[in-house]
Amino acid sequence: MKIACPQSFHGSRIGGRRENNIQYEISNMPIENIIEMVAGLLTKITTTNDMQHEHLHRQMPLADSSEPISPQTSSVLAFHGKNVPSITILSYLNRINKYCPTSYEVFLSLLVYFDRMTEKLNLSHFFVVDSFNIHRLVIAGVTCASKFFSDIFYTNSRYAKVGGLPLPELNHLELQFLLLNDFRLSVPVEELEAYGTMLVEFYAREVADHANSLQDTRRFQQSTGAQQNSAIIAEIVIP
Helix ranges (H only) for 61-183 are 71-77, 89-99, 104-120, 134-149, 156-163, 167-180
Give me the CATH number covering residue 56.
1.10.472.10
| Domain ranges, residue 162 | 26-214
pLDDT given at position 7: 44
**Residue 227 located in a structural domain:** no
- Per residue in 167-184, pLDDT tens? 999 999 999 999 999 999
Encoded amino acid at 218, one letter: R
Q: Kindly list the averaged pLDDT for each block of 10 residues, start to end, along the chain of length 239.
A: 46 51 80 96 94 63 62 89 95 98 96 93 76 97 96 96 98 97 95 93 84 62 62 57
pLDDT given at position 201: 93
The closest of 121, 130, 137, 136 to 53, measured between CA atoms, is 130
The tally of domains found in the chain comes to: 1
The closest of 42, 1, 11 to 206, measured between CA atoms, is 42
**Residue 197 located in a structural domain:** yes
**Residue 99 located in a structural domain:** yes
pLDDT given at position 208: 78
Polymer length of the chain: 239
Under a CB-based contact definition with an 8 Å cutoff, are residues 170 and 137 in contact?
no
Under a CB-based contact definition with an 8 Å cutoff, are residues 140 and 177 in contact?
yes
The closest of 33, 15, 3 to 207, measured between CA atoms, is 33
Angstrom distance (rounded) from CA 38 to CA 27: 14
**Residue 198 located in a structural domain:** yes
